[in-house]
Structure formats: structure tokens, C-alpha cells
Homo-oligomer: A and B are copies of this chain.
Amino acid sequence: MATIEDVAKYAGLSRTTVSRVINNQPYVCDEKRERVFHAMQELGYVPNSSARRLRNQKTETIAIVLPRITNPFYSKLVEVMEKKASWWGYQVIICQTYHCAQKELHYLELLRKKQVDGLVMVAIQNEWTKVEEYIHAGPIVICNESIEEANTVIVGIDQQQAAYDATVHLIEQGCRRLAFISGEENSNLVQARYTGYMKALQEHHIPSMDDPIFHEAVDVESGQTILGKVVHMNNRIDGIFAGCDEVAAGIVYAAMKQGIRVPEDLAVVGFHNDTISRLMNPAITTIEVPIVEMAEKSIEQLIRSIEQPLRNKRESYQFAHTLLKRDSTNKRITVPM
């Protein structure tokens, strides 16, 4: 591989001049500039990224930390984030934690190793205090999580309100024996939603059918499994708030298989408005989240923090969600074919 030195020699000039041309700085006469271009062409020269990173103390790379990329919600966030980051000239490293705190810390180390200039956390596995320690190693943006005490940029929606809205909707549809189904019992995200859910229940004087088994649901399969358990409970549940559309879809699918009618016997609300919620039959009522806006804002703010490091100040961007009412909760009207 040709180095800047080789180019300089070939062109009969100094490394400095070549460097100036590469970074198209002024103070190089046209003739020499041309000679440099020619030499670069001839030698097939490409600036070495590692050397640049070392010299400039900048990697132009960011990391996105998330549970698993196959969850459509995360994958959509990543799609938009990568696009945006790429537009700004940044590479994106993807970091799957599989909900493992240890793995998350491993990826956070990227910041201390200076392997990335900053990172976005979509979901958080560790105590915030643990994560916070990394913030002095580089900017961290939190996307879609609710950490009250985080002194950093935090982008998301009002999770509590969203869960409240969904739950009230279930109640208005006539549901009286509700269940709250989610992943990651102790995450802040789930806590916030649970608070909203309970608030709705209390306001309507409805007891919760909540149960520990309902806290491990992260995909279609777990949705199916949970429906199996729900069926065997004494007090037949008639309304479910699910933490994501995959789980909701699994529930609806399994319900139909078992002859449990949705929404007549069981109404279901999901979260995120993933494609699947729209395509299921019946279509699943869900909370629409402004993914594109959230993703873009996250990247925008992360890059701003990278390029002009200043504060460690909380900065919160909250976007609006929407309850999309579909057939999986529509007890009033017969589902049209």
C-alpha cells in the first residue's frame, strides 16, 4: 500500500504538500496540486484511516447499542440512524446486548478505547450510575429509554402516557380483566409504562391481573407461549397491553389458533406500529412511535455533541405518539372481511 511518503517522493514534493492536497487546504499552487493528484492516481494512494484517527484523535465512527437487531423496532431505528450518520460521514458500529448487562459494558468500553466518538443507547441494561461513568469518555445519547436522572441528551416519547392511553382504550372497549405483558421487568422503560398502565386501572377501579410470567416477552414466540398460559388462568383475561407488536402478534396468532376470538374474547394492544401489526388479521391496535424523528434527532444531537463538546447537561427531546385503533380492540363493530 502506498503511503503519503510514497506519493510525496513520486511527485518530488514533501509530505506536507501532499497532505495539503488531500485535505484540500490552500497554499498549494495549481501545478504542484496537479502533480500530487497525478501521483496519487498513479500509485493508487488512499489515506490510511488508522493513522488519521490517531493523529486527529477522531474516529468518525459511532456505536449503536441495542438488544437485538431483529426486533423490527430497533432495526428501523438503526436503519434511519445509519442513513443519517452516513450522511454526516460517520460509520456505524452495531452492538447487540441480548439484554445482557455485561455485554453492554463491553460495548461501552468502545468509548474509552476511543474506538468510537460517541454512542447511542437504545434500551439500557445496566444501572444508570454504571453507564454514567462512561459519559466523560465521550457523548452518549439515550434513545427511547426513560432515565430521569440522566444528565445527557435523551430522545423519546412519553412512555407512561402511551401506556396509559392504550390501557384506557382497552377499558373503554369494555375490558375489565387486563394484563400487562412486557420484557425486562426492571427496566426504566417498562417501569414507566407500568406506571401509566396502573394509573389507568386505578382511575377506573380495575384490579390488575398482573403476573410474573408476563415479564419475559420480547418476540412472537414468547407472545404465543404467554397466550397458552393466559388461557389456563382462573380469571379469564379479556384485554392485554403488550410491550411490542411482535408479542402482540404472537398472542393474537395463538389466540386465533385456539379459537379464542380477538377482539370479542380478548382485546390486544401492541406497541411501535411495526408492519406486522398492520398485516395481522385482525389488525392490531398499537401505539405509533415517531421512529424516524427520534432516530434522526438522536444522531443529530450525538454528532453535535461530538463536534462541539460542551456540557454534561440534560437535554430532553420528547416526541408525540399516537394510538392507532384497529380491529384487535374493536369490540363494537363486527370485523369486516
CB pair B76 A70 closer than 8 Å: yes
Residues of chain B within 8 A of A256, CB atoms compared: 281
| A96 CA / B87 CA spacing, docked (Å) | 12
CB pair B94 A92 closer than 8 Å: yes
CB pair A75 B70 closer than 8 Å: yes
**A33 located at the interface, meaning its Cβ lies under 8 Å from any Cβ of chain B in the complex:** no
Residues of chain B within 8 A of A94, CB atoms compared: 78, 82, 92-94
Of all chain B residues, the one with the shortest Cβ separation from A103 is B86
CB pair B86 A79 closer than 8 Å: no
Of all chain B residues, the one with the shortest Cβ separation from A86 is B96
CB pair B69 A82 closer than 8 Å: yes
| A47 CA / B114 CA spacing, docked (Å) | 9
Tally of A interface residues using CB under 8 Å: 48
Tell which of A47, A49, A92 has the most Cβ of chain B within 10 Å: A49
| A61 CA / B337 CA spacing, docked (Å) | 51
CB pair B79 A69 closer than 8 Å: yes
CB pair A220 B279 closer than 8 Å: yes
CB pair B72 A69 closer than 8 Å: no
**A308 located at the interface, meaning its Cβ lies under 8 Å from any Cβ of chain B in the complex:** no
Given the known inter-chain contacts A51-B54, A220-B275, please indicate yes or no for A61 contacting B93, CB distance below 8 A: yes
**A112 located at the interface, meaning its Cβ lies under 8 Å from any Cβ of chain B in the complex:** yes
Residues of chain B within 8 A of A253, CB atoms compared: 279
| A57 CA / B50 CA spacing, docked (Å) | 8
A180–chain B nearest beta-carbon distance, Å: 23
**Contacts A/B (CB < 8 Å), 18 sampled:** A46-B112, A47-B113, A50-B50, A50-B53, A50-B59, A53-B53, A69-B69, A72-B75, A78-B94, A86-B96, A91-B93, A91-B115, A92-B93, A220-B275, A249-B279, A253-B279, A279-B280, A281-B281
Given A83-B96, A92-B93, A256-B281, 14 extra CB contacts under 8 A = A48-B54, A48-B114, A49-B115, A68-B79, A69-B75, A70-B79, A72-B72, A72-B75, A82-B95, A83-B98, A93-B93, A93-B94, A94-B94, A249-B279
Residues of A within 8 A of B (CB): 1, 46-51, 53-54, 57, 59, 61, 68-70, 72, 75-76, 78-79, 82-83, 86, 91-96, 98, 109-110, 112-115, 220, 246, 249, 253, 256, 259, 275-276, 279-281, 337
